Chains A and B, each alone.
Chain A
Amino acid sequence: AQKVTQAQTEISVVEKEDVTLDCVYETRDTTYYLFWYKQPPSGELVFLIRRNSFDEQNEISGRYSWNFQKSTSSFNFTITASQVVDSAVYFCALSAFTGTASKLTFGTGTRLQVTL
């Protein structure tokens, strides 16, 4: 069984603050992928990043950075100098290959509210 936990239901920050969204996952499989998606008020989930289980290298893309740590089963997402346009619900997801098929499981999401 696989599971994704996003313990933070809602976070509110003031613009220009840094914010970290936590994601903890569970899987028994050795081959898996982790994803982050953004869901703005328009409703469409937008793919942000993918990491595979064999690549623990952290990644930075502009104001976004991701910290993948297998030792703690975490894949946290940091937004530096947050902006109002970052307001959205962010989902962490896990896709694990079970030997016959893969299955994608989403967390419950973290709602980020950035205010002026």
Chain B
Amino acid sequence: EAGVVQSPRYKIIEKKQPVAFWCNPISGHNTLYWYRQNLGQGPELLIRYENEEAVDDSQLPKDRFSAERLKGVDSTLKIQPAELGDSAVYLCASSFADSLGGSPLHFGNGTRLTVT
């Protein structure tokens, strides 16, 4: 079984530039998550999708961050414009749908973003 695939693996951009991350979840997983992990911290949820619907985007900074999952499969997370504080690892995860939250998440390798 193929795991969660993310690209790019690393990205270095100057502040105020746009950047986009791509994620392809495990086949059959309805739920897709984007997390941000700052150095020395645990992952923090940015947005969660159930199929095409964003069911929790309360932690997504909507002034500069956007995400989409148009066909309910792969997803793109965008930042425009990037700020220095956006430097972090962006993790994508997927799981089977489970309203009680018991399905384990399967994570990709992440994209390490550096904003200079």
State the A residues within 8 Å of B (CB): 4, 31-33, 35, 37, 42-47, 50, 52, 91, 93, 95-97, 101-104, 106-109
Residue of A with least CB distance to B104: A47
Contacts of A96 in B (CB 8 A): 101
Is the pair B41, A102 in contact by a Cβ cutoff of 8 Å? no
Contacts of B112 in A (CB 8 A): 43
Q: Which of A33, A42, A104, A109 contacts B45 (CB 8 A)?
A: A104
Q: Which of B43, B101, B110 contacts A95 (CB 8 A)?
A: B101
Contacts of B100 in A (CB 8 A): 31, 33, 95, 97, 102
Residue-by-residue, is B44-88 near A (CB-CB < 8 Å gives 1, otherwise 0)? 110000000001100000000000000000000000000000000
Q: Which of A45, A50, A107, A109 contacts B107 (CB 8 A)?
A: A45
Known A-B contacts A91-B42, A106-B43; A43 and B110 likewise in contact (beta carbons under 8 Å): yes
Contacts of B105 in A (CB 8 A): 45, 47, 104
Size category of the B interface is: 20 to 34
Q: Give the one of B56, B91, B102 with max A CB within 10 A.
A: B102
State the B residues within 8 Å of A (CB): 3, 40-45, 55-56, 89, 91, 93, 98-102, 104-110, 112
Contacts of A50 in B (CB 8 A): 102, 104
- The complex places the Cα of A35 from the Cα of B105 at a distance, in Å, of 10
Q: Within the complex, what minimum Cβ distance (angstroms) separates B112 from chain A? A: 8
Contacts of A104 in B (CB 8 A): 45, 101, 105
- The complex places the Cα of A116 from the Cα of B84 at a distance, in Å, of 39
Contacts of A101 in B (CB 8 A): 55-56, 99
Known A-B contacts A33-B101, A44-B110, A95-B102; A109 and B89 likewise in contact (beta carbons under 8 Å): no
- The complex places the Cα of A43 from the Cα of B107 at a distance, in Å, of 9
- The complex places the Cα of A102 from the Cα of B56 at a distance, in Å, of 10
Residue of A with least CB distance to B33: A104
Contacts of B40 in A (CB 8 A): 108-109
- The complex places the Cα of A11 from the Cα of B93 at a distance, in Å, of 27
Is the pair B43, A102 in contact by a Cβ cutoff of 8 Å? no
